[in-house]
């Protein structure tokens, strides 16, 4: 009787196992994880809007540069992208809509330097439209459509007329906004308002916002780019899991990474009740008041102070994490989610499987 070493015995068992699998008509595959597809959003149609306009002309990068970074990342991931954004900066417009007049979607032919060829391979070419309130040509000083206007126009008529899309897009993305949209000012946000307009039309939506630099007056390109590249991977993960939903919008706020400190892991948060930006009104005449904006300080007992334990602002500013929160158009207190299992699955994805910065 011949002896067999433990190693030979293990190899023999492995061979027997492979033979049994083959006999059963099952193919044995290697267990090495496969690399994610290079273009994970291929075949997906995405509408992008914002509340910062499509100009991208200011040195501070506060007037739409983030939109072009988002467009760039989505096209690089394989999506077909069309942009319809406000003609002028519309920050703070919330869900406001225009109830009369004529809207014109004017295509931008000269794009900001460095972004001209980002979507050259996309079927729609990454077309960028600015939407103004005018019957005809949009001039430099023409009044603008609101963020919600742009989404409603695009979904109800504009995409079909301008891009030939006969069906709704798979997803609406808004942003990337200059300054985070957290806590009490979420209600004021045109970025979030445009995303809410999309889910009102039964189209999934995600609103992206980025922190500025330490001065809160400039918005480095590196912050937008990190947010956009995270966003493309985040959307790909949702898509692969079948978690793109119009039950609610998702709000993604990205921290400042311009100093070299990377963003920490995403956090599932709630919209806070405090405030980060405070509106002050100083009397300048008998019936006139000048509007002033300032950043709040966390002083216990004052209206600015955050009291929600899992607040988006705390995760973003205190912890340096990517703050993600669900936002619904139904503001009824105590309302139940129509499909709570979807909310739970997305939360689990954010907390365990979403990209880490």
| pLDDT at residue number 36 | 60
C-alpha pair distances (Å), 267 with each of 160, 346, 348: 37, 12, 10
- Of 115-119, 182-186, 223-227, 347-351, give the lowest mean pLDDT range: 182-186
Q: Encode pLDDT of 289-308 as tens digits.
A: 999 987 777 677 777 888 89
| pLDDT at residue number 35 | 62
Name the residue among 33, 89, 39 with its Cα closest to residue 66.
89
pTM confidence score: 0.88
- Contact indicator for 228, 176 with CB cutoff of 8 Å: yes
- C-alpha neighbours within 13 Å on the C-beta side of residue 330: 10
Summary mean pLDDT of the chain: 89
Q: Does residue 27 register a pLDDT over 60?
A: no
- Of 123-137, 260-274, 290-304, give the lowest mean pLDDT range: 290-304
Higher-confidence residue of 231 and 30: namely 231
Q: pLDDT band at residue 13, thresholds of 50, 70 and 90?
A: very low
* Burial class of residue 305 (count of CB atoms within 10 Å of its CB; 0-12, 13-18, 19+): middle
| pLDDT at residue number 7 | 40
| pLDDT at residue number 10 | 37
Q: Does residue 350 register a pLDDT over 90?
A: yes
User: 3-class SS at 156?
Assistant: helix
Q: Does residue 141 register a pLDDT over 90?
A: yes
| pLDDT at residue number 116 | 96
| pLDDT at residue number 299 | 72
CA distance linking residue 63 with residue 167, whole number of Å: 30
Q: How many CB atoms lie within 10 A of CB 118?
A: 20
């Amino acid at each position: 009787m011949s002896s067999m070493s433990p190693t030979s015995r293990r190899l023999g068992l492995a061979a027997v196992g492979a033979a049994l699998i083959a006999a059963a008509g099952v193919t044995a595959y290697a267990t090495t994880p496969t690399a994610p597809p290079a273009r994970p959003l291929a075949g997906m149609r995405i509408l992008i809007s914002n509340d910062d306009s499509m100009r991208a002309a200011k040195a501070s990068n506060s007037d739409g540069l983030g939109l072009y970074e988002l467009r760039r990342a989505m096209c690089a991931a394989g999506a077909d992208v069309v942009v319809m954004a406000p003609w002028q900066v519309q920050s703070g417009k919330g869900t406001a809509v225009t109830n009369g007049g004529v809207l014109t979607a004017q295509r931008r032919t000269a794009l900001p330097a460095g972004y001209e060829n980002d979507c050259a391979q996309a079927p729609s070419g990454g077309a960028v439209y600015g939407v103004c309130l005018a019957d005809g040509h949009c001039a430099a000083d023409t009044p603008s459509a609101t963020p919600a206007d742009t989404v409603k126009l695009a979904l109800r008529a504009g995409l079909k007329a301008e891009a030939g899309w006969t069906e709704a897009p798979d997803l609406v993305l808004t942003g990337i906004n200059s300054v985070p949209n957290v806590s009490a000012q979420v209600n004021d946000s045109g970025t979030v308002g445009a995303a809410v307009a999309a889910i009102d039309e039964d189209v999934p939506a995600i609103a992206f916002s980025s922190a500025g630099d330490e001065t809160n007056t400039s918005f480095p390109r590196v912050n937008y780019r990190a947010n956009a590249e995270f966003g493309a991977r985040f959307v790909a993960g949702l898509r692969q899991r079948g978690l793109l939903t119009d039950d609610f919008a998702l709000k993604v706020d990205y921290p400042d990474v311009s100093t070299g400190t990377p963003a920490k892991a995403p956090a599932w948060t709630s919209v806070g009740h405090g405030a980060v930006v405070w509106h002050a009104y100083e009397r300048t005449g008998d019936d006139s008041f000048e509007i002033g904006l300032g950043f709040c300080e966390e002083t216990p007992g004052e209206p600015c102070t955050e009291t929600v334990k899992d607040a988006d602002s705390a995760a973003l500013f205190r912890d340096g994490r990517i703050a993600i929160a669900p936002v619904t158009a139904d503001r009824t207190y105590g309302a139940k989610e129509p499909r709570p299992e979807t909310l739970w699955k997305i939360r689990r994805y954010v907390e365990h499987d979403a990209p880490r910065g």
